[in-house]
Amino acid sequence: MTQLPHYQLFIDGAWTDGGSGQVLTSQNPATGADWATFACADAGDVDRAIGAARRVLNDPAWRDMTQTQRGKLLYRLADLIAEHAQEIGRIETTDSGKLLAETASQTGYIADYYRYYAGLADKIEGAVLPIDKPDMHVFTRREPIGVVVAIVPWNAQMFLTATKLGPALAAGCTVVLKASEIAPAPMLEFARLIEQAGFPPGVVSVITGDAENCAIPLTRHRDVDRIAFTGGPETARHVVRNSAENFAVTTLELGGKSPILVFEDADLDGAANGLIAGNFGASGQSCVAGSRGLVHRSVMDDLIARIKAKMADVVIGDPLEAVTHIGPLCTEAQVMRIEATLAAAVEGGAQIQFGGARLDRPGNYMAPTLVKCADADTETLKVEMFGPVMSLLPFDTEEEAIVLANATPFGLGSGVFTQNVARAHRVSARIKAGICWVNTYRAVSPIAPFGGFNQSGYGREAGIEAIHDYTRTKTVWISTSEAPMANPFVMR
């Protein structure tokens, strides 16, 4: 019998099994078969990881490293990521079911995020203040915020790690990275590259585990200074409550129910591609999935025909194969949830235009599905599907489209397809979302910040401002007078 690969935790520069001995098994979503095991952290492991992060903040090996030297370590990490992109991509595909074409290319591209923050490491600057008091030299300096807990989900873990780890390390923080207990293998593999890059032990630890034994002790630990969380709103509420124990600065990047607006003057082929990318890219397992398609009534039938024609050639299959366009979902629970939501939508009057059922094959395969909605209360327009389900709803006027777009508690992504530049500016300004793509969808860059409005969270990741979120400002006052400080009880 072949022994499955086993992944240990990476704590304080050492590989170790968890203190409780808890081990979980990961299934390959494409086959349903067990493929690897991984150790889980308990409260003692969390304490060791946080303790190491706190200790190394004051260790000269990290504390006294110049900002330029930190940048060079990040450049080295970026090179290692690019070098091992195919290998890590294959592990992520096996663990999560995402296409190898996506995981490998995305891993290669996130090397640029680390290069971006490597370049910013020695550009974290303070300022001399034109103070209103004589004989005073006053300046500010930015110092590392301290110990950072970074929590990432399974669906875009290398990317979402880069947007947290890159600026945190560039700023001089130390980080405990918590991978999802669903498909954590690529994060634990990534820890080997952190080790190879030459970061001092304890600067980065990588752990995983369940909520009770790992996530709760981690987010409420008294020695945590900052929490950067990506995940669902319900879990986020627990994170915020836990942070009351340590007053950690917290940023949240949560779920979404993003609208894509298609106006009557849009390039319909481009709009069809945008809707396909926004709903079927990554098998719909994306927090910015454009799963509320709002389409001008006059072009609805034409757009549906174009989407159907494009989907006729889509290959559903093994995510490791280059010819595959859509692979399995990560978990069985996702398939079951989608089936139940589709059933409720149909009962409410929605029409399935194609797909709508689980595929009869091993693994967690759901057919790409297009739903023509009867009204804005259709279930698929309200629930974050996290699977390959596109829902289309007609509108008649620009104002109606904007109202429908904003009729959600979320506000992460959005899309607008129109040939009218004035309309593009007008509509994008009124949509309540942290990102608005016009005549494109799902584009990202290390230079461009992203994050949500409303229940899609707060704070921003990526971009130049993000690095400041991992620092605290210290103000220094220096008296330049030769006279001693005056008697404070003598008022002048």
Q: Which of 253, 379, 384, 398 is catalytic?
A: 253
pLDDT tens profile 303-358: 999 999 999 999 999 999 999 999 999 999 999 999 999 999 999 999 999 999 99
pLDDT tens profile 142-192: 999 999 999 999 999 999 999 999 999 999 999 999 999 999 999 999 999
CA-CA-CA-CA torsion sign (460, 461, 463, 465) = positive
- Please provide residue 38's backbone torsions phi and psi, each rounded to the nearest 5 degrees: -145, 145
CA-CA-CA-CA torsion sign (36, 215, 233, 348) = positive
CA max distance for the chain: 87
pLDDT tens profile 280-316: 999 999 999 999 999 999 999 999 999 999 999 999 9
Mean pLDDT across 105-120? 97
State how far the alpha carbon of 157 is from the alpha carbons of 36, 106, 162, 190, 443, in Å: 18, 10, 8, 10, 17
- C-beta of residue 253 within 8 angstroms of C-beta of residue 79: no
All structural domains of the chain with their residue ranges: 6-254+452-476, 259-438
Q: Full-prediction pTM beyond 0.85?
A: yes
Strand order, beta sheet including 249-253: 14-16, 9-11, 204-208, 174-179, 147-151, 226-230, 249-253, 457-458
SS3 165: helix
State the DSSP H helix or E strand holding residue 354, giving kind and residue range, or none if neither: strand 351-354
| 337: Cα within 13 Å, side-chain hemisphere | 14
Per the annotation, the verdict on 339 as an active-site residue is no
Q: Of 188, 223, 232, 228, whose CA–CA distance to 208 is shortest?
A: 188
The fold for domain 6-254+452-476 equals: Aldehyde Dehydrogenase; Chain A, domain 1 (3.40.605)
Tell which CATH architecture fits domain 259-438: 3-Layer(aba) Sandwich (3.40)
CB crowding 124-151: b at 16 or more within 10 Å, else e? beeeeeeeeeeeeeeeeebebbbbbbbb
Phi-psi bin for 284: left (phi > 0), alpha (psi -120 to 50), beta?
left
